[in-house]
Structure 1
């Protein structure tokens, strides 16, 4: 079954051009599956996470082969989307730009385009990391547009003292405790491409990292990060830009602040929290479970012996099981079409 890809832009309600990649079967199935939005996380544009051109590197293609029409939007300031003017100037120690609430406008533009193309009343949303927080907010704001959400390694603000991004972390202002370190990180940031490799390696519990993760997937991921910023090769070594708004939001959730209360969500919800992931805490899972009181269904899956990057690890390292469980979840309550 051949998949086709199309890159295009849509305009948000506030006039921002948002880049989207569509991935779907060349011949649509007779029985349409839930149309899907795949939303990236804090510092990584969408194609890098969801549509790498190597075997085992594209969640979008796997979902498309199951019949889903997939849209991969880049939030403003990322990838193929328009960047704020400030990102064409050197970074400044001013307020972080592109916050999660603002990104819901980008998600809304993608949702409306996907609904128009497929004829669906409602779509599914998948969010990685703080992208999961974004889709949770969207589902609360526009419940009539959403049938399912999958929160993958989400932050929620279920407790204070997050060890990676809360008090005492590098993201905290040493002169103003419990404040984001705006003086160091500022409005946007230049990211080193190898940051992904280092974090991933630390979570793989065996010496031979290639036995756990296909090196072709890692190489494609790093190349996609560079491809996602037209200025990446202007710097030596190459780096790519990302706004810091989602990082600031992540920091405050790490202090125990909730950006949205999950009791405002009414659709089906699945939460995926791999064992070795350090972003989602057990307190976040417990708080989500307690707060999702109106959700039509709640599934929480905590796969043992898996990393934050389970969707890009080798099939036997949890990827195949994750795909199977997601498809089972999405097959429930398929009522998006007229």
Structure 2
């Protein structure tokens, strides 16, 4: 399906995964005039453990999404919803009561889904490599894919990276984990603004911006209008790995340029996680970090988002590897 948006072309695809019956939603945006495709100007987004990429990176706020911004700068930009999220197929285990099945969509499954999307893009454009950007759990997915397939990645961007955890995960309510968990719209706002001083909350996240995001995100749920299902695989991974001192990937195995972007008010993935990842990027030819003041875990959906946009623009424009 192709839909023009002013000077931007939007195309949407359902691509096969490595599992029969599971298809992945992929969106592409680019300038209508773009005719030459290169690794340096091709990028794939993936989101975190609770919400889909399709309502995170292509959400128009003040008339422009991050995908729009990159497309208008001449990028061929994509996003993929991991299975179980957004518009991708939900595993059969998510159809019944959650405790009937073990947690679904663990990190290796998500890495394979990213691999399917990368292969789709590379084949479509005839490219050997592309740029990858992940947020939260998405940083683990993208970093693991990069360490496993360095020849397929040009540059890596990590927004609020996960690492070993010494504090409870905001996504883990404790108790026995089933296949999925229920996320409530009201609780989503409280989690977003956790730790933000009361006098800064509206300045960081205007009410209208939250409602725009919530309407888009919860509208995709079969539990509309104020609840959605999120796979619990990432929560089980947090217990088994991040909270148990066992990293899911080794940053030292990443051999491409890396940028970390982090908000100083992030309580989901505090600054010590970003510091730990940055310190271990010993094989990356370049490593950069930007810390954004008065920004949370969802910094690119807040009023300070242009600082993240500008940092990524500069990183992608820097000399290729």
TM-score normalised to the size of structure 2? 0.89
- Indicate whether 1:120 and 2:108 are aligned: no
Contact 2:260 2:278 in 1 (8 A): no
- The 3 A distance-change label for structure 1 pair 144 and 71 is same
Structure 1 partner of 2:3 = none
Q: Find the aligned partners of 2:208 and 2:111 in 1 and give their Cα distance.
A: 33
Matches within 5 A, 1:34-113: 34-55=41-62, 58-92=65-99, 94-113=101-120
Contact 1:57 1:312 in 2 (8 A): no
Structure 2 partner of 1:19 = 25
Structure 2 partner of 1:7 = 12
SS at match of 1:113: helix
- Indicate whether 1:200 and 2:186 are aligned: no
Contact 1:35 1:120 in 2 (8 A): no
Within the candidate set 188, 199, 223, 1:232 is matched to 223
Q: Find the aligned partners of 1:227 and 1:99 in 2 and give their Cα distance.
A: 25
Q: Deviation of residue 4 (structure 1)? A: 2.1
Q: Find the aligned partners of 1:300 and 1:209 in 2 and give their Cα distance.
A: 25
Structure 2 partner of 1:137 = 144
Contact 1:35 1:118 in 2 (8 A): no
Moved more, 296-305 or 131-140: 296-305
TM-score normalised to the size of structure 1? 0.85
Moved more, 198-207 or 265-274: 198-207
Contact 2:37 2:125 in 1 (8 A): no
Within the candidate set 300, 315, 318, 1:332 is matched to 318
Within the candidate set 210, 228, 231, 1:218 is matched to 210
Q: Find the aligned partners of 1:289 and 1:275 in 2 and give their Cα distance.
A: 16
Q: Deviation of residue 25 (structure 1)? A: 1.5
Task: Provide the alpha-carbon RMSD of the alignment.
Answer: 2.3
Moved more, 244-253 or 52-61: 52-61
SS at match of 2:28: strand
Query: Residue by residue, what CA displacement relative to the aligned partner does 1:9-48 show, whole Å, maximum 9, x if unpaired?
Result: 1112334311111122222176855211110100101112
Contact 1:149 1:269 in 2 (8 A): yes
Query: Residue by residue, what CA displacement relative to the aligned partner does 1:145-204 show, whole Å, maximum 9, x if unpaired?
Result: 0011111111122xx52x2329xx9544xxxxxxxx3x2x31111211223211233344
Q: How many residue pairs end up in the alignment?
A: 313
Structure 1 partner of 2:301 = 312
Q: Deviation of residue 325 (structure 1)? A: 1.0
Q: Deviation of residue 320 (structure 1)? A: 1.5
Q: Find the aligned partners of 2:244 and 2:151 in 1 and give their Cα distance.
A: 31
SS at match of 2:193: helix
Structure 2 partner of 1:178 = none
Matches within 5 A, 1:144-159: 144-157=151-164
| Structure 2 residues without counterparts, runs of 5 or longer | 1-5
Q: Find the aligned partners of 2:172 and 2:231 in 1 and give their Cα distance.
A: 17
SS at match of 2:294: coil
Within the candidate set 304, 308, 311, 1:322 is matched to 308
